[in-house]
Chain A
Amino acid sequence: KAGVTQTPRYLIKTRGQQVTLSCSPISGHRSVSWYQQTPGQGLQFLFEYFSETQRNKGNFPGRFSGRQFSNSRSEMNVSTLELGDSALYLCASSLGIRGDSPLHFGNGTRLTVT
């Protein structure tokens, strides 16, 4: 069974631009969550989707948004990029409603904002 797939692996953008990252969960998994990892702040929860509905959101500005499609694939979008948005963005999927099954992570998208 294929794992969680994130695309692209690497991305370089300029301040003020926007970016869209994609995540395909493990087949059969319906929950997708997103995380930002930086050296200073560690791993931080961005948001979580289940059955196309955002169920929870972390403490990030409105420039960070996401969505989930009917096939459980998810995208996250960051608008008006800032230098501080440079980070490793990780997506995870789990089988059911969150809290009752383990998280499985993709390899991440490394975003550099110049």
Chain B
Amino acid sequence: GIQVEQSPPDLILQEGANSTLRCNFSDSVNNLQWFHQNPWGQLINLFYIPSGTKQNGRLSATTVATERYSLLYISSSQTTDSGVYFCAVERDTGGFKTIFGAGTRLFVKA
């Protein structure tokens, strides 16, 4: 089946720093989404981005489907950005199945 790899696995930032998270996938996909899981376990959808670039405040994401990767940029990080960031891909295998990466655990220090 399709493999989804995220890097880095762990990241520690000083408040105000910028960072780039990467998601590689091993086969063509119908779409890709980025999620943030806060320390209370809630998963928040950040971007639905099968291709191209989107921006939402301090966050932006780029997916290059032909090269099978996506990037999530976090600028001017804040302590509230701490948590785990997941990318998830979906493929039509006669019904859609969502496959998550293992996540990047981010800790932003004040």
A and B together in one complex = yes
Binding site for B on A (CB under 8 A): 33, 35, 42-45, 48, 55-56, 58, 88, 90, 92, 97-105, 107-108, 110
The A-contacting residues of B in range 29-63, CB under 8 angstroms, are 30-31, 33, 35, 40-45, 48
Majority-rule SS of A interface residues: strand
Stretch at the interface among B13-21, B68-76, B90-98: B90-98
- Place the interface of chain B in its size category: 20 to 34
Tally of contacts, chain A with chain B, CB under 8 A: 60
B95 near A88 with CB under 8 A, answer no
B41 near A88 with CB under 8 A, answer yes
B99 near A45 with CB under 8 A, answer yes
- Could you say which of B40, B43, B90, B95 contacts A90, with CB atoms under 8 Å apart? B43
B45 near A105 with CB under 8 A, answer yes
Tell me the complex Cα distance, A13–B30, Å. Answer: 38
Which 7 interchain pairs have the tightest Cβ spacing? A56-B95, A98-B96, A102-B48, A55-B95, A43-B100, A105-B43, A99-B30
Instruction: Given A42-B103, A99-B31, decide whether A105 and B95 contact each other with a Cβ distance below 8 A.
Output: no
